[in-house]
């Protein structure tokens, strides 16, 4: 069989072997939360997890990242480019929804005349060993966005948790090479593969959230000035959690950090959010998105209207982080349902 | 693949105080490497991300014309952190430049047309670039009549007085200057830009109007141009937006699905009418 088996007590062996060649990122428990971090030993790796609070996009697009470093003297500036982009990274245990977000991120950073080399090089040097979701939560809705808790397409290697072991399936050439190197993996049986298929079906059937995205973009387009935006933004406190923790959000601010005593520094980018009032504030004082109404609208339109228009993709993977973590429970699922109702009302009028 | 966030290094060649209030300066930059200048191919209406490395970066329209060889110029109003540092720059200081960014004025599509350039205040910088380009001996024959209408609050705010004087001497361009209120020694027009446009603008037939200025001026001028039968695709605007990267990645300059930094900053009124009014 092409599929292999990895026993759960072999994770340390897997780590020891792969950590020689890769920076090994994995789900790790830190201050009560799961984070995707570079593991320094296999014991740190948390295998019983739902998903991380901060999406694994931070492995490739960290909260703070150096664009270049500089040194300054009286009359000269020297710029030092980053030299660490070729580091080989492996993300172990990434969920299929987050792996799909990497497709969106790659597409975005590669779009247009200007390519974001910093992200793209790191992406190119990254291998994804993903893990299917046996028990999706009520906040998950990847299946409403053509995703699946066992989607392999965006991974290099797919793992399925079979209880005491994982079914290992290589998806890409990159994945095949990696699995071949792990010569000690045992062969899977037909029963293992069938069990994985059953788990996949069970996981899919367990979804409680089913959202219809088919008309959302079409509905949003003519409803820019619809009163629904006031309703949707009413409880929003503009904290930006929804966008900071969104696996597809890419906005950033750029800042020069200078060590004045040593005449050196670095230009960095840090995550930013369209939910902040300062995000679009002009120096003149003018602000094109002056209130929460416009800012909430921008977030929804960006994901569900501008993204499909520009890239022919929906800017959401259905991970449900924004639903789980919004401090005022401004639930994206409800927002989408409200938007879908705009269309219903119109149709009613037409049929009447 | 080059790192799109790394600036090219230049040095300040000259600094010119542009107005009486002394909050607008034109800084002329010379690239440190000859090949960087050769590769910096821009057209009027484009901008660049210019930075004082160690202090920060900001997007500024290119005030020089590609026909003025050797250096590039930026006219900077002292407004925030970075622009204030720019005002303290002296000859020889290092300035970082990333660009050219944005689409620029559609100089190819404007060929064969009569051109009305309408500017207000310090937004005239990329219009300076455009007019210098149109007047260049290589390109002048490609364009029809050129009319420049340039308004300011008072005589002390009029930028680029040297080039304006040159233009006034020529017979292939009509230059109309105006200020908001009467002032001693002022011999040109008095009044807001919009009514002056109504008075002096040529026919809309085969014409393009290029409008740059504060929002209220743009609004009133567009109303007048519409009265004069200019169609939406004959009116061009350059927009300002808060930006960080200038290359379509940092996110904040979007108007609907367009990014001002890469899809703009120049949009026709026809295009703007299709976009949400979030600017």
CB contact under 8 A, B6 and A68: yes
Any idea which of A57-66, A103-112, A339-348 has the lowest mean pLDDT? A339-348
For an interface test with B, which of A61, A116, A263, A290 has the most B Cβ atoms less than 10 Å from its Cβ? Answer: A116
For an interface test with A, which of B1, B55, B246, B249 has the most A Cβ atoms less than 10 Å from its Cβ? Answer: B249
Minimum-distance CB partner of A116 among B57, B249, B262: B249
CB contact under 8 A, A256 and B242: no
CB contact under 8 A, B242 and A282: yes
CB contact under 8 A, B251 and A284: no
Residue A243's pLDDT band, with cuts at 50, 70 and 90, is very high
Cβ proximity of B62 and B73 under 8 Å: yes
CB contact under 8 A, B249 and A120: no
CB contact under 8 A, A279 and B250: no
CB contact under 8 A, B252 and A310: no
- Pairwise CA distance, residues A59 & A99, whole Å: 12
Structure tokens at A75: 């009359």
Q: What is the pLDDT of residue B215?
A: 82
- Pairwise CA distance, residues A6 & A8, whole Å: 6
Residue A350's pLDDT band, with cuts at 50, 70 and 90, is low
Q: Kindly state the average pLDDT of the residues A331-337.
A: 95
User: Which of B54, B48, B47, B122 lies closest to B88, judged by CA?
Assistant: B54
B79 touching chain A per CB within 8 A: yes
Residue A343's pLDDT band, with cuts at 50, 70 and 90, is low
- Pairwise CA distance, residues A338 & B265, whole Å: 34
Cβ proximity of B65 and B140 under 8 Å: no
Residue A1 has pLDDT above 80, yes or no: no
B247 touching chain A per CB within 8 A: yes
The nearest alpha carbon in chain B to A293 belongs to B278
B8-101 classified as CATH 2.40.30.10: yes
B279 touching chain A per CB within 8 A: yes
Cα separations in angstroms, A14 against A140, A179, A230: 30, 10, 52
Residue A352's pLDDT band, with cuts at 50, 70 and 90, is very low
Task: Work out the burial of residue A210: count CB atoms within 10 Å of its CB; fewer than 13 is exposed, 13-18 middle, 19 or more buried.
Answer: exposed
For this complex, say whether ipTM is above 0.90: yes
Average pLDDT, chain A: 94
CB contact under 8 A, A68 and B245: no
For residue B260, the 8-state DSSP code is: H
pLDDT tens-digit series, residues A163-175: 999 999 999 999 9
Q: How many CB atoms lie within 10 A of CB B75?
A: 25
Going from N- to C-terminal start, the domains of chain B cover 8-101, 114-238
Cβ proximity of B176 and B117 under 8 Å: no
For a pLDDT cut of 70, what percent of chain A falls above it?
97
Structure tokens at B278: 């979030």
CB contact under 8 A, B5 and A267: yes
CB contact under 8 A, B241 and A112: no
Taking contacts as CB-CB distances below 8 angstroms, the residues of chain B near A280 are 241-242, 252
* Element holding A232 (H helix, E strand): helix A228-233
Q: pTM value?
A: 0.93
Q: Who's near B261: CB < 8 A, 6+ residues apart?
A: B59, B101, B102, B241, B243, B245, B246, B247, B248, B253
Residue A349 has pLDDT above 80, yes or no: no
Per-residue pLDDT of chain B (279 residues; tens, 9 = 90+): 689 999 999 999 999 999 999 999 999 999 999 999 999 999 999 999 999 999 999 999 999 999 998 999 999 999 999 999 999 999 999 999 999 999 999 999 999 999 999 999 989 999 999 999 999 999 999 999 999 999 999 999 999 999 999 999 999 999 999 999 999 999 999 999 999 999 998 999 999 999 998 888 998 999 999 999 999 999 999 999 999 999 999 999 999 999 999 999 999 999 999 999 888
**Chain B: closest CA distance from residue A179 (Å):** 31
**Chain A: closest CA distance from residue B205 (Å):** 33
For an interface test with A, which of B31, B252, B272, B276 has the most A Cβ atoms less than 10 Å from its Cβ? Answer: B252
Minimum-distance CB partner of A68 among B1, B5, B276: B5
CB contact under 8 A, B5 and A111: no
Minimum-distance CB partner of B249 among A109, A256, A302: A109
Q: Kindly state the average pLDDT of the residues A202-208.
A: 95
Minimum-distance CB partner of B240 among A115, A282, A301: A282
Query: How many Cβ pairs closer than 8 A exist between chain A and B?
Result: 122
**Rounded to the nearest 5°, which phi and psi values hold at A210?**
-125, 110
Cα separations in angstroms, A132 against A92, A123, B243: 12, 21, 40
Q: Who's near B179: CB < 8 A, 6+ residues apart?
A: B151, B152, B153, B154, B155, B157, B158, B186, B188, B189, B190
Cβ proximity of B86 and B77 under 8 Å: no
Strand partners, B212: B119
B114-238 classified as CATH 3.40.50.80: yes
Please spell the DSSP secondary structure of B76-132, one letter per residue.
EE--SHHHHHHTT--TT-EEEEEEEES----TTTTTTSEEEEEEEGGGGHHHHHHHH
Going from N- to C-terminal start, the domains of chain A cover 4-205, 216-347
B156 touching chain A per CB within 8 A: no
CB contact under 8 A, A251 and B242: no
pLDDT tens-digit series, residues A114-153: 999 999 999 999 999 999 999 999 999 999 999 999 999 9
Minimum-distance CB partner of B3 among A81, A254, A284: A81
Cβ proximity of B74 and B29 under 8 Å: yes
Residue A346's pLDDT band, with cuts at 50, 70 and 90, is low
**Chain B: closest CA distance from residue A235 (Å):** 22
Taking contacts as CB-CB distances below 8 angstroms, the residues of chain B near A67 are 3, 5-6
- Pairwise CA distance, residues B240 & B61, whole Å: 10
CB contact under 8 A, B4 and A79: no
Taking contacts as CB-CB distances below 8 angstroms, the residues of chain B near A251 are 250-252
Cβ proximity of A338 and A304 under 8 Å: no
């Amino acid at each position: 069989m092409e599929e292999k088996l990895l026993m759960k007590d072999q994770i340390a062996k897997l780590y020891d072997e792969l950590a020689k060649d890769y920076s090994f990122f994995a789900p790790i428990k830190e201050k009560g939360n799961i984070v995707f971090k570079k593991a320094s030993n296999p014991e740190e790796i948390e295998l019983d997890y739902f998903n991380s609070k901060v999406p694994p996009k931070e492995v490739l697009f960290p909260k703070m990242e150096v664009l270049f470093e500089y040194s300054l003297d009286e009359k000269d500036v020297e710029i030092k480019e980053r030299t660490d982009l070729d580091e080989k990274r492996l993300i172990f245990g990434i969920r299929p929804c987050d792996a799909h977000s990497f497709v969106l991120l790659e597409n975005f950073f590669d779009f247009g005349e200007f390519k974001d080399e910093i992200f793209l090089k790191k992406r190119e040097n990254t291998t994804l060993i993903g893990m299917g979701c046996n028990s999706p939560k009520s906040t998950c809705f990847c299946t409403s966005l053509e995703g699946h808790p066992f989607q392999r397409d965006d991974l290099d290697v797919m793992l399925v948790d079979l209880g005491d072991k994982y079914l290992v399936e290589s998806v890409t050439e990159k994945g095949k090479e990696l699995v071949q190197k792990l010569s000690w993996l045992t062969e899977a049986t037909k029963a293992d593969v069938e069990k994985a298929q059953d788990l996949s079906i069970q996981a899919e059937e367990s979804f409680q959230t089913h959202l219809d995205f088919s008309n959302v973009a079409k509905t949003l387009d003519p409803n820019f000035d619809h009163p629904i935006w006031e309703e949707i933004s009413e409880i929003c406190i503009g904290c930006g959690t929804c966008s900071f923790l969104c696996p597809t959000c890419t906005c950033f601010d750029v800042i020069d950090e200078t060590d004045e005593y040593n005449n050196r520094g670095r230009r960095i980018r840090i995550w930013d959010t369209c939910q902040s009032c300062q995000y679009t504030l002009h120096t003149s004082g003018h602000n094109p998105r002056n209130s929460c109404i416009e800012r909430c609208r921008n977030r929804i339109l960006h994901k569900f209207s501008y993204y499909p228009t520009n890239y022919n993709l929906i800017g959401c993977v259905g991970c449900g982080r924004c639903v789980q973590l919004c401090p005022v429970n401004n639930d994206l699922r409800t927002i989408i349902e409200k938007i879908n109702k705009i269309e219903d009302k119109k149709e009613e009028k037409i049929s009447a | 693949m080059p790192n799109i966030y790394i600036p090219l290094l230049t040095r300040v060649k000259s600094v010119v105080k542009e107005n009486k209030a002394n909050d607008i300066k034109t800084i002329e930059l010379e690239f440190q490497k000859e090949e960087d200048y050769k590769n910096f191919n821009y057209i009027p209406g484009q901008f660049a991300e210019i930075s004082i490395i160690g202090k920060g970066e900001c997007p500024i329209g290119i005030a020089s014309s590609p026909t003025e060889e050797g250096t590039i110029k930026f006219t900077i109003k002292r407004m925030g952190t970075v622009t204030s540092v720019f005002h303290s720059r002296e000859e020889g200081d290092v300035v970082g430049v990333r660009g050219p960014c944005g689409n620029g004025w559609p100089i190819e599509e404007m060929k064969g047309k009569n051109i009305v350039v309408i500017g207000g205040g310090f937004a005239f910088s990329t219009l300076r670039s455009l007019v210098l380009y149109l007047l260049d001996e290589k390109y002048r024959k490609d364009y029809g009549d050129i009319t420049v209408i340039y308004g300011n609050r008072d005589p002390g705010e009029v930028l680029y007085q040297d080039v304006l004087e040159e233009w006034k001497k020529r017979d292939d361009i009509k230059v109309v200057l105006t200020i908001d209120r009467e002032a001693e020694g002022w011999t040109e027009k008095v009044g807001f830009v919009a009514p002056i446009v109504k008075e002096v603008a040529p026919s809309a037939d085969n014409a393009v109007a290029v409008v740059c200025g504060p929002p209220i001026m743009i609004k009133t001028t567009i109303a007048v141009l519409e009265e004069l039968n200019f169609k939406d695709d004959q009116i061009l605007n350059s927009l300002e937006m808060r930006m960080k990267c200038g290359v379509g990645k940092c996110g904040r300059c979007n108007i609907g699905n367009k990014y001002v930094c890469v899809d703009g900053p120049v949009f026709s009124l026809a295009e703007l009418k299709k976009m949400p009014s979030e600017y």
